[in-house]
Amino acid sequence: MAKSERGAALVMTLLMLLVMTLLAMSSMERVTLQEKMVSAQRQGDLSLELVEGALREAEDYLDGGTLALANFGTAGKLYEAGAAPDIHSAAAWTDDNSFAATATQTAWTEALGATVPAPRYFIELIGDATSVDTLTDVVVSGRQDMALGAYRPKGFRIVARSTGVSGTAQRIVEVYYAADL
């Protein structure tokens, strides 16, 4: 009887092992892809949180009472209408052309226990808020009555950018804001 066996059990076992190895490799590839997707989503969410913090800092800066219309020009971090840089240009996000949101950076660095790059923002003056509709468009409560008088709040375009911790995700957010200067 021993002579009639020709290694069929060994061949079947090796084939089964090959199939199981291929299935395991396929599962590992899917898990690796899912890990990359989750990491990208996390980086995107973090960069969005950072950019929102930068926008809050910009709004606080406008409401701080230290700005004058004379501070807005064609260069720097505060721009007059139409003079803001291209938001997709790397030059727009340098120290010369935008503010670093350092309070946001510090808070997130402490919360994560890892160094977070500072999100950046610049502000463009877009003019007077001339009507109640304009103020409603920028969602400012309590200022509607001012648009009907001689003194009008100013409208601003705030653009903020963050790259997140890894630098692979980027978020650029633009908001419109009305403030009294």
pLDDT in tens, 89-116: 999 999 999 999 999 999 999 998 888 8
Domain ranges of the chain: 46-179
The answer to whether 164 and 43 are in contact (CB under 8 A) is: yes
Q: What is the dihedral of CA 88, 39, 119, 59, to 10 degrees?
A: 100
**Does 139 score more than 60 pLDDT?**
no
Selected residue with higher pLDDT from 95 and 136: 95
Q: What's the pTM value of the predicted model, to 2 decimals?
A: 0.74
Query: What is the helix (H) or strand (E) element at residue 127, kind and residue range?
Result: strand 120-128
**Does 63 score more than 80 pLDDT?**
yes
